[in-house]
Structure 1
Amino acid sequence: MTGYADDLTLAHLLADRADAVATARFRALDLRVESKPDLTPVSDADTAVEREIRALLAEHRPGDGLLGEEYGAKPDTDPGGRRWIVDPIDGTKNFVRGVPVWATLIALYDGDRPAVGVVSAPALGRRWWASAGAGAYAGPGPAAGERISVSAVGRIDDASFCYSSLTGWERAGRLDAMLDVMRASWRSRAYGDFYGYMLLAEGALDVMVEPELSLWDVAALVPIITEAGGTVTDLASRPAPAGAPGTESSVVATNGLLHIDILTRLDRPAER
């Protein structure tokens, strides 16, 4: 095994354990849900999954850094070294309402290099994964995956355009630009969370954009999309995820062919 293959194998093990914990709590009648300071929900499943992943990483990769959405960074985490970045349940609002579109996101960054990404959505029976230089794959699990790639759509009027919501774009002062992109596109839908990005990586849609994401929301998505042939930046064309942990960044993910066009269209200032 070469490159990051051992780390990818470990990431699949982490995902297997996370799936078991989260699935046992999905649609549970005694599921406990609280509000975090930013008023977003957190369930007992979110915290249980992250604790399980942290315990496994402490056993298998004690020298690596770690950043998780629910419990923050290990005290000795070095942003310039190897660090695992975990969102225990992406799509918590879906999870607590019984909607099956949620996933555990697991990433390994080697310095600034997105080395490994695994997105596991057990309620959908689907997992996506990639490691640097080894391609992107999807399927029920690592024993039954097929290589995936982004689409070859090169015109906005042929493109399927995906976004999370419009309220964030309104706060960012780019709602008018967003609406223009939606009108110009062949089709627009708001799948949201991890799912739009994975559909992009599979070639089922062509663009996915969000105005404000945290590092753990996007870290696992980047290697999968880029290994599938796509491009991921922020609105300023900087490689995503941009910004330090605890800050939010915009994300523009495309099949690569549409990237400059989408960035240009979204750069139009709001009308006064």
Structure 2
Amino acid sequence: MPGSDGRDQPVDWTADLALITQAAREAGKVALSHFGQSPEVWWKNEGMSPVSAADYAANRVLEQMLLAARPGYGWLSEETDDDSDRLARETLFVVDPIDGTRAFLAGKKTWCVSVAVVHKGAPVAGVLVAPALEEEFTAVAGGIARRNGVEIVVSTPEPEGRLKIASAQDMVAAIDRALRPRVDRVDHIPSLAYRLALVADGRIDGTLVKPNAHDWDLAAADLILSRAGGALTDLEGRALVYNRVEVTHPVLCAASGSILPILLKNITQLSRS
């Protein structure tokens, strides 16, 4: 367990980062063994969301490894029934064993294992492992963001330069006309966590996120993005709070520090919707 987090002694979460990175790699290996093998599929959320045998297998690996190492932590996973016990825990694991299940089942490589440690409502260690792409993103509170061990930073577009924004067409259409001519829409990226990682390492400049994204879609990528110099906020510019009773979020915006205020100023149509 990390030490006290008093004002004079910041917590060092690097041991937790090492733990979740090891677990995410193992879960990624399990998921990759199912990739392209037509795993059994079920449907949840009234038939709206697929879940596969690979999701459940990766989830078991994560749960066994992480809770054995940190039995005092809470647990929130897309593929585990929610337990209100997590609300009484200051620290918990927030997990998506396969973020981008639809892409996974379609044979597309843009999926990842997402694992975060959340403490007092904020992510303090995060990892995204995308085994089919051979990419790994990590970050820890107070540290730097890395991709495959190398530091990453967000993009720094010219003040009036073009902006690569990854979002659905209807979301981009809601950007005010004054900014829209500068926007180049990037094709759909199925994994939200991976999309946020692309903002973190500067491959895209920002993204707009439709409402109802969950804690497990966001927590790890949120930390990685912030340590790379960007931010993920609601449309009022407020940081996200995790491990609440309600684990979904409203419309969100993610971008580098210089681009985020510009986007927030120019998406008033969304804030009124």
TM-score bucket (shorter structure): 0.7 to 0.9
Q: What corresponds to 1:185 in structure 2?
A: 182
Q: What corresponds to 2:41 in structure 1?
A: 33
Give secondary structure in 2 for the equivalent of 1:41: strand
Q: What corresponds to 1:134 in structure 2?
A: 143
TM-score, normalisation: structure 2: 0.86
User: Given the alignment of the two structures, is residue 267 of structure 1 paired with residue 259 of structure 2, yes or no?
Assistant: no
Residues 177 and 270 in structure 1, CA contact (< 8 A), matched pair in contact too: no
Amino acid corresponding to residue 226 of structure 1 in structure 2: S
Larger deviation: 200-209 or 90-99? 200-209
The percentage of aligned residue pairs carrying the same residue is 29
User: Given the alignment of the two structures, is residue 78 of structure 1 paired with residue 87 of structure 2, yes or no?
Assistant: yes
Residues 117 and 219 in structure 1, CA contact (< 8 A), matched pair in contact too: yes
Let me know the Cα RMSD of the aligned residues: 2.5
Q: What corresponds to 1:107 in structure 2?
A: 116
Flag the 1:24–1:106 CA change in 2: closer, same or farther, 3 A: same
Q: What corresponds to 2:5 in structure 1?
A: none
> Following the alignment from structure 2 to structure 1, what is the Cα–Cα distance between the partners of residues 70 and 261?
39
Residues 138 and 146 in structure 1, CA contact (< 8 A), matched pair in contact too: yes
Residues 219 and 241 in structure 1, CA contact (< 8 A), matched pair in contact too: no
Larger deviation: 234-243 or 260-269? 234-243
Task: Compute the displacement of 1:211 (Å).
Answer: 1.6
> Following the alignment from structure 1 to structure 2, what is the Cα–Cα distance between the partners of residues 103 and 33?
18
Residues 176 and 270 in structure 1, CA contact (< 8 A), matched pair in contact too: no
> Following the alignment from structure 2 to structure 1, what is the Cα–Cα distance between the partners of residues 88 and 268?
30
Q: What corresponds to 2:248 in structure 1?
A: 247
Query: How big is each residue's C-alpha offset from its partner over 1:205-251, in whole Å with a ceiling of 9 and x where there is no partner?
Result: 21111122111111111110000011110122221257644433322
> Following the alignment from structure 1 to structure 2, what is the Cα–Cα distance between the partners of residues 252 and 136?
19
Consecutive unaligned residues of structure 2, counting only runs of 5 or more, are 3-10
Residues 41 and 92 in structure 1, CA contact (< 8 A), matched pair in contact too: yes
Query: How big is each residue's C-alpha offset from its partner over 1:141-176, in whole Å with a ceiling of 9 and x where there is no partner?
Result: xxxx1011111225364221111x246x4xxxxx64
Flag the 1:181–1:7 CA change in 2: closer, same or farther, 3 A: farther
Residues 198 and 204 in structure 2, CA contact (< 8 A), matched pair in contact too: yes
Amino acid corresponding to residue 200 of structure 2 in structure 1: A
Q: What corresponds to 2:199 in structure 1?
A: 200
> Following the alignment from structure 1 to structure 2, what is the Cα–Cα distance between the partners of residues 73 and 270?
30
Aligned length: 259
User: Given the alignment of the two structures, is residue 56 of structure 1 paired with residue 53 of structure 2, yes or no?
Assistant: no
> Following the alignment from structure 2 to structure 1, what is the Cα–Cα distance between the partners of residues 22 and 75?
16
Task: Compute the displacement of 1:185 (Å).
Answer: 2.6
Amino acid corresponding to residue 94 of structure 1 in structure 2: A
Query: How big is each residue's C-alpha offset from its partner over 1:113-158, in whole Å with a ceiling of 9 and x where there is no partner?
Result: 320110110000001000001110001xxxxx10111112253642
Q: What corresponds to 2:102 in structure 1?
A: 93
Flag the 1:95–1:269 CA change in 2: closer, same or farther, 3 A: closer
Larger deviation: 201-210 or 6-15? 201-210
Flag the 1:236–1:56 CA change in 2: closer, same or farther, 3 A: same
> Following the alignment from structure 2 to structure 1, what is the Cα–Cα distance between the partners of residues 161 and 71?
49
Query: How big is each residue's C-alpha offset from its partner over 1:61-115, in whole Å with a ceiling of 9 and x where there is no partner?
Result: 0000110001133452136600110011010000011111100110111112320
Give secondary structure in 2 for the equivalent of 1:219: helix
Amino acid corresponding to residue 203 of structure 1 in structure 2: G
Query: How big is each residue's C-alpha offset from its partner over 1:162-198, in whole Å with a ceiling of 9 and x where there is no partner?
Result: 11x246x4xxxxx642484883334221342223211
Amino acid corresponding to residue 65 of structure 1 in structure 2: G
